């Protein structure tokens, strides 16, 4: 059975694991109404439209 000869230092261990926990950026799509970038399948925060309909009324 393979057994480590020496203890792996915490710095070496953390360096190896540094890429495991990276978060990926959310995918953004352009709103067809106003052209603002928004998350897919969500109401647009700029104009309040979703799927061609007004869902949230924005005050001018």
pLDDT tens-digit series, residues 18-58? 888 888 888 999 999 999 999 999 999 999 999 989 988 87
Task: Give how many domains the chain has, as a whole number.
Answer: 1
The answer as to whether 33 is a domain residue is: yes
The answer as to whether 37 is a domain residue is: yes
The answer as to whether 48 is a domain residue is: yes
Mean predicted lDDT score pLDDT of the chain = 90
Which helix (H) or strand (E) element contains residue 10? helix 10-17
Give the number of residues written for the chain.
60
Residue 57: per-residue pLDDT: 86
Can you give the residue range of the structural domain that contains 57? 26-60
- pTM for the model stands at 0.56
The answer as to whether 40 is a domain residue is: yes
Q: 37-39 and 28-30: which strand pairing?
A: antiparallel
């Amino acid at each position: 059975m393979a057994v480590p000869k020496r203890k792996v230092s915490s710095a070496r261990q953390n360096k190896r694991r540094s890429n495991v926990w990276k978060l990926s950026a959310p995918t953004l799509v352009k709103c067809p109404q106003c052209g603002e970038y928004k998350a897919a399948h969500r109401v647009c925060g700029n104009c309040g439209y979703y799927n061609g309909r007004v869902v949230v009324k924005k005050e001018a």
